[in-house]
Amino acid sequence: MNVTQDLSILHLIINASAVVQIVMAILAGVSVMSWYYIFMKWFAVRQARTKTEVFERDFWSGGDLNSLYNSAVNDRHHAGSMERIFEAGFREFAKLKTQKNLDPKDVVDGSRRAMRATYQREVDGLEAHLAFLASVGSVSPYIGLFGTVWGIMHSFRGLANVGQATLSAVAPGIAEALVATAIGLFAAIPAVLAYNRFAHDIDRLSIRYESFMEEFSNILQRQMR
């Protein structure tokens, strides 16, 4: 078997020590999970952005609020986050408005609180699994480094039984150890990039939701006059 075959990635993984193989398996599993969450989150954020733009266009086109509310209620399962925020606020507004001896400010404040509660749920849903991506990005290199250190230690311990230390005796052990670091980086880099991108996109969406809540509260306040 030639040197190239001995130092191939697959050969190094198969012939690595048990501890290094466990580290590689953990990192491979974490990488697969992170890529699953990356694609899932990418579709979720893109869908949330698209539905937000559609609802904003319908809302500011001057349509009737009751019609928008009925549309949101009838299509609740396919409604976007901003549409659900609007639905919660308008429903609370309509309920409180019918109560007698209630100050108009209290009606608007109740509507705002209902929208705030729905806003928190929607943002929490968008931020789901972001903590996992952040953990993968920060921990994976250290797990890979642990596998590397352990592999190098195992390689040098093997030299104790060798009369003469040569590069050919040390190279396979060091190479298999470095594979663990490479897999750790392969898991960490996409997770970090995805986390930063999604955190930025979700932050921009949350700002749009908060701006809508304030603007919609002003509209409801004008209707109470």
Distance spanning both ends of the chain, measured CA to CA: 88
Per-residue confidence (pLDDT) for residue 174, from 0 to 100: 76
Q: Mean pLDDT in each 10-residue stretch from start to end of the chain (225 residues)?
A: 52 73 90 95 95 91 84 83 93 87 86 94 93 94 89 73 61 76 92 96 95 92 78
Per-residue confidence (pLDDT) for residue 84, from 0 to 100: 93
Between CA 148 and CA 43 the distance in angstroms is 36
Per-residue confidence (pLDDT) for residue 153, from 0 to 100: 80
Other Cβ atoms less than 10 A from the Cβ of 192: the count is 18
CB 49 within 8 A of CB 207: no
Other Cβ atoms less than 10 A from the Cβ of 101: the count is 4
Per-residue confidence (pLDDT) for residue 117, from 0 to 100: 95
What are the structure tokens assigned to 160, written together?
């104790």
Per-residue confidence (pLDDT) for residue 225, from 0 to 100: 66
Between CA 111 and CA 75 the distance in angstroms is 21
CB 93 within 8 A of CB 220: yes
Q: How far apart, in Å, are the Cα atoms of 46 and each of 83, 197, 218?
A: 16, 12, 29
